[in-house]
Structure 1
Amino acid sequence: MKNLKPRHEVPELRVKTTKGVDYNLQSSKPENFTMVIFYRGIHCPVCKKYLEELNTKIDQFREKGVDVICISSNNKELAQKTVEEWDVDNLNIGYDFSIDEGRKWGLFISEKEKESEPDVFVEPALFLVRPDSTLYSASIQSMPFARPKFDELLKSISFVVKEDYPARGEA
């Protein structure tokens, strides 16, 4: 597991999206941050609820200069099914994120426990990445529970931008 540090460059991130775009984090130039959300996949009801909530708040993040990409290790077919079955039409959904790449990001990896799960998949995480591709903050989970709350993130991002609050935790 890679040890990512705030104020240091994050690993390269390139994924295909259900919108037909090849997403490249390092080419992304948001005003303030890119919020990278890794989710378990279509098999996860907690992910569904989380991304559907984000879908209702995406404009608020954009207004704060935050681009958002949501990524799983699901294949194209499952990612497309996610877009069709979940209320996530405002989100950019990336797919085919490899387990090896997940390890570079320090993500927890799980093996299949139920028939509905893929053989292996990434556990949830949320990263705020600066426009220069350096890590600002990270929340990495080993379970589908206890994820950052979007309303709290929106308030925090307002404070961070207004006060030019530095990334912490790099020592």
Structure 2
Amino acid sequence: MIKPRETSPEIKINLVNDTLWELSEQSPKNFSLILFYRGKHCPICKKQLEELQKKLSKFIERGVNVIAISTDTEDVAKATYNEWDIADIPLGYGLSIEEARDWGLFVSKGIKDSEPEYFTEPGLFLLAPDQTIYWESIQSMPFGRPSFNDLLGGIDYILKEDYPARGEA
């Protein structure tokens, strides 16, 4: 488990637009938001990412860079990008199970033909510009994800009050 105020693992991930995204190359004004999602097989992920698309400008206004990442293959991730309403979200694919575990994500074994053999359960990380963990939410199930309105409200409070990362003790 990575605690708040600790440096996150480095991540280099291919995007569906045929570029490479590297965490260490990011220079957000305030935060990087990394959303780990289960994959194309998950209808709740589709709903969550499409909601993120609708609120993306609100994150950008607050100086937050956003990326969504899964363990899906390139072909599956590109199909996800084309079929879901997520045109402006950088979409990464090919996260390894080992990398997922480095982030403290829960890993599930597929139980349906439509699911990959192994995939991550949801995780949301808000990172400070120095790549330290500021806020994390990790689920062992697809249900009960934080709302983006709550996250945006939290970011507003954090920025207004210069509120420190908590949970490090």
Q: Report the TM-score, using the length of structure 1 for normalisation.
A: 0.98
1:88-99 superposed matches below 5 A: 88-99=86-97
What displacement does 1:27 show? 1.3
Give 2:32's aligned residue: 34
Partner of residue 76, structure 1: 74
Equivalences for residues 1-171 of structure 1 within 5 A: 3-171=1-169
TM-score (normalised: structure 2): 0.99
Identity %: 50
Counterpart amino acid of residue 56 in structure 2: I
Distance 2:31 2:150 in 1: 16
Q: Which runs of 5+ in 1 are unaligned?
A: none
Unmatched segments (≥5 aa) in structure 2: none
Aligned residues: 169
For residues 31 and 18 of structure 2, the distance between their equivalents in structure 1, rounded to whole angstroms, comes to 22
Distance apart, 1:163 and its partner CA: 0.7
Give, in whole Å, the separation in 1 of the partners of 2:11 and 2:149: 26
Determine the C-alpha separation between the residues in 1 that align with 2:99 and 2:157.
32
Deviation at 1:8, TM superposition (A): 0.8
The one-character-per-residue Cα deviations of 1:34-59 (angstroms, maximum 9, x if unpaired) are 00000000000000000000001101
Distance 1:141 1:26 in 2: 25
Q: What residue identity is the alignment partner of 1:68?
A: V
SS of the aligned residue for 2:68 comes to strand
1:19 deviates by: 1.9
Letter in 2 for 1:109: V
User: Does the residue aligned with 2:150 lie in a helix, a strand or coil?
Assistant: helix
What do you get for the CA RMSD once the two structures are aligned? Answer: 0.6
